[in-house]
Structure 1
């Protein structure tokens, strides 16, 4: 076991982080998800470790812990980027509706496929196995859509975030149905969500008001520790804990909305802005590290031989086909013709793996091949990669460059007209007509 000595682990972990950072750079240039590269790195490490030691240690505990922390960081990261405005109500509701319909529709069809083709798979267990396979991966989508237009990027951030949250809630609702003594039905589930939202709002207000008064510079990890504590306690109380994280992120990212009117006197704006800025950076960094080690360890645990099983390939292809067919119908209804590349941006990832390992023993089916999970994750990621590369090439045509140049010129002219109107309305400017245009304005128009 000399290979797992303290210094070897430090060297290995450091190299993995450096490689992950490099993978991110490659991903931005090629649109190949860094997650795929991390999984491949894990598979390579699996064979390297097997060369030195006969039996690999059990990584299930590490995967579960990293998955939970990564899930919290990803949802918090997404919530911190969601700006709530009246103008965004329709896009948010549309993304939520698409995420919910896509989740339920994909889970239903995948459950039917698993129930029919996997021996000894009851419909109840099939729903539990199908739900993780129906959840979009915000861990893959959010870093991958930065090159899209602002409107499409915003849609994918909303949709993947809602898919994560609603998928997890649906999964644990289904688990509750396994035990009739604990199952409280739809009414109890709705009450649970309402209670969680109430606790989340109270906790969010309390955290903001307390932390803005803490003078210590080292308080961001204290804040993260408090959020992790709230999440874990919420889980122990059978609450939908992820809602606590989501609401806190929304509150601190939109304090003006949640502290209206005279309640703003309780806020110290500069300190709140500083907390938000520092928390955003630490959340990004932590999510990056946790995501890195999660997918590398997942790659180490993969059994590649399962990918060559004919049943695995057939069932996986059926599930993948159903994912894109359902997505095509939903996007066609909501967006009409403009559904590319959104149609193909539907990867599965971290939450799919995390929830798979969270399936209770009483619902587990021995005949289910974990290769289906891996096949769907890899295939949907590759499809997204192909769609993003194709869309990027389309965006770089000469006509698009001309359109972009015209758009920038129009924006410059709009800025100049707005400034001109302000000058016209100013009493001081009206006294001297020669002040209507400045040298700076002329430079803007020249550009």
Structure 2
């Protein structure tokens, strides 16, 4: 493709993505799903695209998209005393759901796929167990406030915890080939992992304070993309040293969104509230716009890389359906225990997407299994997205019926009359 064709094609894709977003608001069909099918369609319209090497492009777009999506989510999270329980509940559901889903999926993969060791099974199962904030966040905007907030918290925690789990498991390959028999090496690895996580949290707080204070004093009107560049640089440096860099992005987003909470007591003198709010408002807009563009390009490119024929396999269907069933059974139990009876459509809002694709591409070569069919990945991504779509459409229709019923039976009124005080006649 020449330069101008590439510009025209990218522009058309972004324009279509905008209209997909509008369609999504009216139909509850995730715009991401439409983008993937657009990419699949482009394979047949322009067959030469199938010969392009898009693996590196997909990974780069996915990494940048992940940073922007987590930052976008963090900027919308308010840390108030009344929010602590919803945050803790979302964290618990995300953590237990991730671990339980990964364990069950790993057992299923070892049972169905020849040559699948314990370590490999856990590495393959982890991406399949991570919620996609890239799909969830833009899809739940029409939900009730508390439900929307729950999904933002849960999907963000799932992204971060899932990535931490994946790279912890990948790191075990340097100690022992089987995670179940790691012995002392496994314990040491876990200790190192906890130490690095603690170091990451402390470093994230320190970096976030310094970055925010420094950028308050910059008068240039072009400082916001400079700020994003600095955050990405620290993210990449952290990844180089095997740290959970997404924690830094989350901490910075939470700090600037809840600046009064983080700048208390002696720290208050370092905060210029007006300038900090200007940075927050500008960063919020840029983050949303950038996340939209990157998410659009990522899922279209992902659609271009899909071999749709891999979905038409009985073995793929059986394994995938078993994994899907386990996902929703685990989710049902957790939501009933921690949320209560009102679990619609939360039960079915559990799509897999950007993180799943990224981590599958990062599975170490030593853990790869020839018998694993990539169709399982595609089946789970499409299956969870379509199930979520059905649940969102049902919930929208249910809400619409409730509103129509309320309007059809308006509350009546009567004229209030003050009782008269008169002589009381006694009856003999």
Settle same-fold status: TM greater than 0.5: yes
CA deviation string 1:134-186 (max 9, x = no partner): 00111111111111111111111111110111000000000011111898422
> Which of residues 34, 38, 48 is equivalent to 2:35?
38
Q: Is the 8 A contact 1:107 1:134 kept in 2?
A: yes
Structure 2 match to 1:24? 21
**1:295 counterpart (289, 295, 299):** 299
The aligned residue for residue 210 of structure 1 is 214
**Distance verdict in 2 for CA 1:183–1:359, change over 3 Å:** farther
- After the TM superposition, which residues 328-407 of structure 1 pair with which residues of structure 2 at under 5 Å, given as runs? 328-398=332-402, 402=406
TM-score, with normalisation over the residues of structure 2?
A: 0.91
Kept after mapping to 1: 8 A contact 2:72/2:284: yes
Alignment partner of 1:125 out of 110, 120, 123 = 120
Question: Is 1:256 the counterpart of 2:253 in the alignment?
Answer: no
Hey, what's the Cα distance between the residues in 1 that align with 2:116 and 2:238? 31
Contact 2:335 2:347 in 1 (8 A): yes
In structure 2, relative to structure 1, the CA distance for the partners of 1:183 and 1:219 (3 Å cut) is: farther
Deviation per CA, 1:292-314, whole angstroms, max 9, x where unpaired? Answer: 11110110000011000111111
CA shift, 1:54, in A, is: 8.5
Matched, 1:60 2:55: yes
**Corresponding residue number in structure 2 for 1:413:** none
List per-residue Cα deviations over 1:223-278 (Å, max 9, x = no partner). 01000100000011111111111101111111100001342222111111010011
* Equivalent residue number for residue 96 of structure 2: 101
Q: Distance in 2 between matches of 1:400 and 1:363?
A: 55
Distance 1:264 1:317, change over 3 A: same
Q: Which residue number corresponds to residue 48 of structure 1?
A: 45
Structure 1: how far apart are the matches of 2:396 and 2:131? 22
Tell me, yes or no, if the aligned pair for 1:196 and 1:239 is still in contact at 8 Å.
yes
Q: Give the distance between the partners of 1:86 and 1:307, measured in 2 at CA.
A: 47
8 A Cα contact 2:50 2:305, kept in partner: no
Distance 1:342 1:362, change over 3 A: same
1:119 to partner: Cα distance: 1.4
In the superposition, relative to structure 1, how do residues 57 and 333 fare at CA in structure 2: closer, same or farther (>3 Å)?
same
Q: How does 1:239-250 map to 2 (within 5 A)?
A: 239-250=243-254
Q: Which residue of 2 aligns with 1:197?
A: 201
The corresponding residue for 1:148 is: 143
Aligned residues: 402
Task: Pick from 58, 65, 74 the counterpart of residue 70 of structure 1.
Answer: 65
RMSD of the TM alignment (CA)? 1.8
Aligned counterparts of 2:403 and 2:236: Cα–Cα separation in 1: 53
How far did 1:8 drift?
0.5
Distance 1:191 1:54, change over 3 A: closer
Alpha-carbon deviations, 1:375-428, whole Å to 9, x = none?
A: 11111111111101111111112457639x999xxxxxxxxxxxxxxxxxxxxx
1:184/1:65 CA distance change after superposition, 3 Å:
farther
Choose the corresponding residue for 1:134, options 129, 151, 154: 129
Change in 2 beyond 3 A, CA 1:326/1:182? closer
Cα distance between partner residues in 2 of 1:263 and 1:44 = 55
Alpha-carbon distance in structure 2 between the residues aligned to 1:284 and 1:153: 17
Seen in structure 2, the aligned counterparts of structure 1 residues 348 and 10 have a Cα distance that, compared at 3 Å, is same
Q: Partners of 1:226 and 1:173 in 2: how far apart?
A: 26
Tell me, in whole angstroms, the C-alpha distance in 2 between the residues paired with 1:199 and 1:265.
21
Q: Comparing both chains, which one has the higher relative contact order based on Cα–Cα distances under 8 Å and sequence gaps of 6 or more?
A: 2
Q: Which moved more, 1:344-353 or 1:254-263?
A: 254-263
Which residue number corresponds to residue 161 of structure 1? 156
- Does the residue aligned with 1:368 lie in a helix, a strand or coil? coil
Structure 1 pair 54–211 and aligned structure 2 pair: CA distance change class (3 A): closer
Q: Where does the alignment leave 5 or more consecutive residues of structure 2 unmatched?
A: 176-184, 412-428
Contact 2:43 2:49 (8 Å CA) reproduced? no
Distance in 1, matches of 2:49 and 2:85, equals 56
| Per-residue CA distance 1:26-61 (angstroms, 9 max, x = gap) | 0011000011100000001111221xx386111000
Name the CA distance, whole Å, in 2 between partners of 1:240 and 1:149.
Answer: 32
Secondary structure, counterpart of 1:396 in structure 2 = helix
5+ residue gaps, structure 1, are 408-447
What is the alpha-carbon distance in structure 2 between the residues aligned to residue 235 and residue 336 of structure 1? 39
| Distance in 2 between residues matched to 1:215 and 1:302, nearest whole Å | 46
SS of the counterpart of 2:46? Answer: helix
